[in-house]
C-alpha cells in the first residue's frame, strides 16, 4: 500500500520519459511531485501525473518547452514558459529571481504560459534558504476551469489564485485563496470521505460537505467562508489583476479552453547587515510566539513547520487505490514496469 520515496521518484520519471519528456525535465517533475507527497500535500503530489499525461496527449503541455525571456529591464524580467512543465519553468524563474536579487537587491520575475507549477512553497522556500524574502502570486491565465464563487454568488467564476511567502529561518506560507485547494476536494471524492463544513457550495449555492456536489457544478468558497469570504474574494481579484497585467497572460472569464498558470515572483535580498541582525531577532520572535500557552491537544507551529515535520517523519508514501490505478494505467499504456504498490 506504500512505496519508498526514491522508488516512486524513479517510477514517475520513467513514466514521463515514456511520454517523451527529456530525462532532466522528467526527473525534476518527479522530484517536485514526490516532495509534495512527503510534505503532506498529496493533492499536489504524484496523483497529478495522469492529468499531465492527458495534457501531453492533447498537446496542451509541451514536454520540451523551456523558459524564454521576453523582456529584461534589470529588476523586472518577463518570461514565457511555452506551455512547458510548470515545475521546470517555475524553478528556472526562481533561480533567476534569486540570482538577480542577490546581485542588485530586488527582482520581479513574471511568467506566462507555464503549465501547473504545483506546490508554491517549493519555490519560495528555495529563495528563503538562500537568504531572500520571496512572494509568489499565481493565476490560471483565463482558463475555463474555474472553481471559486465570488463573495455573495452561488456559482463559480474565479480561480483560487494561490499565494506563497517565505523568509529566511524556514518561514514558508503556501495557501490557496479558496478555503481549501481544489485538489483536496478531488482527493476526498476519490476516497469517499466528506469535506469539512464551509469548504464548498453545491450547484444551487447551498452549503455542502459532499465533495461530489462540487464535482457536479458546485463551487469552492473563498478564504473567510460564507460570512468573511469578502477577504479571500478581494485577494483573488487583486491577484488576478496583478498577475494578468504583469505577465500579459490573460484573466479569468475570457473563455480560453486550455489550462496554464501565470505567476509573478518577487524576490528581495536584504543585504549583509540586515541579515546579521535578523538571525537574533528571528530567534527571539520564534520563542515569543511558541511560548504562548497552547490549546488542549494543540501544538504551536510556524508556517513551514508542518511540511518540514511531515518530510522528516515520512519513510514511505501511501497512495490511495484510485491514484495507484491511474498511475498503473498511464504506465502500462507506454510499457513502463509498475512497482508493487
pLDDT digits (tens, 9 = 90+) for 33-51: 999 999 999 989 999 999 9
Cell digits for 313?
517523519
Mean pLDDT for the stretch of residues 326-335:
96
pLDDT band at 303 (very low <50, low <70, confident <90, very high): very high
Average pLDDT, the chain: 94
Better pLDDT: 184 or 167: 167
Handedness of CA 300, 43, 164, 170 (dihedral sign): positive
Region 243-268: mean pLDDT is 91
Could you tell me how many helices (H) and strands (E) the chain has, helices first? 12, 12
Average pLDDT over residues 81-107: 97
Rg for the chain, CA atoms, rounded: 20
List strands edge to edge, sheet with 106-114: 68-72, 76-84, 106-114, 261-268, 133-139, 163-167, 171-175
For the ranges 48-62, 202-216, 250-264, 293-307, the lowest mean pLDDT is seen at 250-264
Least confident of 11-25, 105-119, 249-263: 249-263
Residue 341 has pLDDT above 80, yes or no: no
d(CA 152, CA 154): 7
The total of other beta-carbon atoms located within 10 Å of residue 236's CB is 28
Region 281-309 average pLDDT: 96
Instruction: Return the DSSP state at 338.
Output: P
Question: What is the rounded distance in angstroms from the CA atom of residue 49 to the CA atom of residue 334?
Answer: 14
The pLDDT of residue 145 is 79
Q: What is the pLDDT at residue 108?
A: 98
Residue 141 phi/psi, 5-degree rounding, is 60, 40
CATH fold group of domain 2-179+221-273+311-332: Ribosomal Protein S8; Chain: A, domain 1 (3.30.1370)
Q: Residue 99: beta bridge partners? A: none
The answer to whether 150 and 230 have CB atoms below 8 angstroms apart is no
Q: Helix (H, G, I), strand (E, B), or coil: what is residue 108?
A: strand
- The reported pLDDT for the residue numbered 273 is 86
Q: For the residues 46-59, what does the mean pLDDT come to?
A: 96
Structural contact between residues 13 and 294, judged by C-beta atoms closer than 8 angstroms: no
CB neighbourhood size of 314 (10 A) = 15
Query: 148, 99, 145: which is closest to 265 by C-alpha?
Result: 99
For 283, phi and psi rounded to 5 degrees?
-60, -45
Q: 3-class SS at 224?
A: coil
- Written as nine digits, the cell of 150 is 465570488
Per residue in 204-230, pLDDT (tens digit) is 999 999 999 999 999 999 999 888 999
pLDDT tens-digit profile of 137-183?
A: 999 998 777 899 999 998 899 999 999 999 999 999 999 999 988 87
Distances (CA, A) of 32 to 8, 113, 147, 208: 12, 19, 24, 32
pTM of the model: 0.93
Q: Is the pLDDT of residue 1 over 70?
A: no
Share of the chain above pLDDT 70, in %: 100
Angle separating helix axes 86-104 and 121-128, nearest 10 degrees: 30
Give me the phi and psi of 140, to 5 degrees please: -100, 15
Amino acid at each position: 500500500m506504500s512505496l519508498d520515496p526514491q522508488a516512486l521518484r524513479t517510477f514517475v520519471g520513467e513514466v514521463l520519459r515514456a511520454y517523451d519528456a527529456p530525462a532532466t525535465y522528467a526527473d525534476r517533475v518527479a522530484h517536485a511531485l514526490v516532495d509534495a507527497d512527503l510534505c503532506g500535500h498529496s493533492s499536489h503530489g504524484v496523483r497529478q501525473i495522469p492529468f499531465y499525461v492527458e495534457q501531453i496527449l492533447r498537446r496542451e503541455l509541451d514536454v520540451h518547452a523551456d523558459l524564454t525571456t521576453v523582456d529584461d529591464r534589470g529588476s523586472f524580467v518577463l518570461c514565457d514558459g511555452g506551455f512547458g512543465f510548470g515545475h521546470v519553468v517555475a524553478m528556472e524563474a526562481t533561480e533567476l529571481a534569486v540570482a538577480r536579487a542577490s546581485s542588485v537587491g530586488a527582482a520581479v520575475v513574471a511568467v506566462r504560459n507555464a503549465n501547473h507549477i504545483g506546490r508554491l512553497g517549493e519555490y519560495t522556500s528555495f529563495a528563503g534558504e538562500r537568504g531572500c524574502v520571496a512572494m509568489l502570486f499565481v493565476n490560471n491565465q483565463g482558463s475555463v476551469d474555474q472553481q471559486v464563487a465570488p463573495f455573495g454568488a452561488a456559482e463559480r467564476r474565479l480561480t483560487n489564485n494561490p499565494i506563497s511567502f517565505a523568509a529566511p529561518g524556514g518561514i514558508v506560507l503556501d495557501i490557496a485563496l479558496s478555503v481549501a485547494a481544489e485538489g483536496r476536494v478531488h482527493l476526498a471524492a476519490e476516497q469517499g470521505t466528506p469535506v469539512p463544513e464551509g469548504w464548498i457550495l453545491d450547484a444551487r449555492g447551498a452549503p455542502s460537505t459532499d465533495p461530489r456536489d462540487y464535482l457536479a457544478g458546485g463551487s469552492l468558497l473563498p478564504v473567510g467562508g460564507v460570512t468573511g469570504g469578502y477577504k479571500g474574494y478581494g485577494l483573488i481579484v487583486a491577484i488576478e489583476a496583478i498577475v494578468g497585467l504583469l505577465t500579459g497572460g490573460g484573466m479569468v472569464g475570457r473563455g480560453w479552453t486550455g489550462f496554464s498558470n501565470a505567476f509573478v515572483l518577487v524576490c528581495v535580498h536584504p543585504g549583509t547587515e540586515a541579515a546579521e541582525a535578523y538571525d537574533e531577532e528571528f530567534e527571539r520572535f520564534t520563542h515569543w510566539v511558541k511560548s504562548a500557552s497552547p490549546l488542549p491537544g494543540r501544538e504551536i507551529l510556524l508556517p513551514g513547520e508542518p511540511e518540514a515535520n511531515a518530510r522528516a517523519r515520512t519513510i514511505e508514501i501511501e497512495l490511495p487505490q484510485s491514484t495507484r490505478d491511474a498511475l498503473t494505467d498511464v504506465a502500462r499504456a507506454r510499457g513502463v514496469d509498475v512497482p508493487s504498490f
